[in-house]
Amino acid sequence: MDYNLLQQKFSHIFDDELIVEISEKGIFKNFKKDDIIIDIDQPLNFIPLLLVGDIKIIREDDDGHEILIYFLEAGETCTMSLTCCLGIAKSKIRAVAEKDSSLIMIPVHNMQKWFDSNASWRNFILQSYQIRFEEMLEAIDSLAFMKMDERLYKYLKNMAMIDESNTISIKHQDIAEDLNTSRVVISRLLKKLETERKIKLGRNKIVIL
């Protein structure tokens, strides 16, 4: 089953030989919603390939305030963990399962070996860096140039896209933590978006109109 998942999610990216090698060298792991997969300051000996689920990547300041950087979806990897692995450094991010998720963890030495020897792996890593770099620029632009209500609406639309549904099951407090603001601010802005007929609020759920 694990091999079939790997082939299903990555056969269009990796060649057959690499798929087999990943299944042999990698470690399959399952995580429940809200489980911490990678934590800040954790030594990284593996990089994750996401097979099923969604993962949010978070940064934290010295006072413990968190901010969402980006989401990972099935068929992707976390390039910030790649960077730490390549530099033999500790993690600078926290990776949290947004929903029940399955991953395959690739040992660092295999990642480095395949980068030199396998074109499909090398292209995947370089493309992943490009995608994550653009998402981080987008996150910086949101912080620097967008009002909080605009950031909130963009966040909700991104969540809907990830869930492949216009109905998002989420608490106001969870949104506040992702956007590094207070629950009171989020609740007020959600009411504003509802008045503007952009969303409809329910009990622990939000519908994008």
**Whether residue 69 sits in one domain with residue 168:** no
- pLDDT tens by residue, 107-131: 988 988 999 999 999 999 999 989 8
Residues 10 and 95 reside in one and the same domain: yes
Nearest 5°: CA angle at 194, between 56 and 183?
A: 50
- Same domain? 84 vs 152: no
Asked whether residue 85 carries a pLDDT value surpassing 70, the answer given is: no
Say whether both 112 and 154 belong to one domain.
Answer: no
- Asked if residue 72 and residue 8 are part of one domain, the reply reads yes
Residue 183 token pair: 């629950």
Q: Is the confidence at residue 70, as pLDDT, over 60?
A: yes
Per-residue model confidence (pLDDT) at position 1: 53
pLDDT score for 187: 93
184: domain CATH number is 1.10.10.10
The pLDDT tens digits for 128-158 are: 989 888 888 888 888 888 899 999 999 999 9
Confidence of residue 195 (pLDDT cuts 50, 70, 90): very high
Per mean pLDDT, which range of 20-34, 40-54, 83-97 is the poorest?
83-97
pLDDT of residue 146: 87
Residue 158: domain span: 147-208
Q: For residue range 155-180, what is the model confidence (pLDDT) as tens digits?
A: 999 999 888 899 999 999 999 999 98
The per-residue pLDDT of the chain, averaged, comes to: 89
Planar angle of CA 196, 149, 199, nearest 5 degrees: 40
Number of domains in the chain: 2
Query: Is residue 2 located within the same domain as residue 49?
Result: yes
Cα dist from 49 to 96, 104, 177, 199, whole Å: 14, 5, 26, 33
Average pLDDT over residues 74-96: 78
- CA separation (Å) from 1 to 4, 23, 32, 159, 170? 5, 11, 18, 28, 30
pLDDT at res. 88: 59
Task: Identify the domain boundary among 98, 117, 136.
Answer: 117
The CATH number of whichever domain residue 99 belongs to comes to 2.60.120.10
| Residues 158, 85 within the same domain | no
CB-side exposure of 26: number of CA atoms within 13 Å?
23
- SS percent in the chain: helix, strand, coil, step 5: 50, 25, 25
Confidence band of 86 (pLDDT split at 50, 70, 90): low
Question: CA-CA distances (angstroms) from residue 112 to 37, 70, 118?
Answer: 21, 24, 10
- Considering the domain architecture, whether residues 108 and 10 belong to the same structural domain is answered as yes
Structure tokens at 128: 């992943």
Is 39 part of any domain? yes
Alpha carbon of 200 to those of 50, 84, 169, 183: distances in Å?
A: 32, 41, 12, 18
Amino acid (one-letter) located at 192: K
In this structure, is residue 58 part of a structural domain?
A: yes
Residues 16 and 90 in one domain: yes
DSSP conformation letters of 82-148: HHHHHTT-B-SSEEEESSSEEEEEEEHHHHHHHHHH-HHHHHHHHHHHHHHHHHHHHHHHHHHHS-H
**Are residues 175 and 92 located together in one domain of the fold?**
no
Q: Which of 79, 101, 117 is the last residue of a domain?
A: 117
Asked if the structure places residue 11 within a domain, the reply is yes
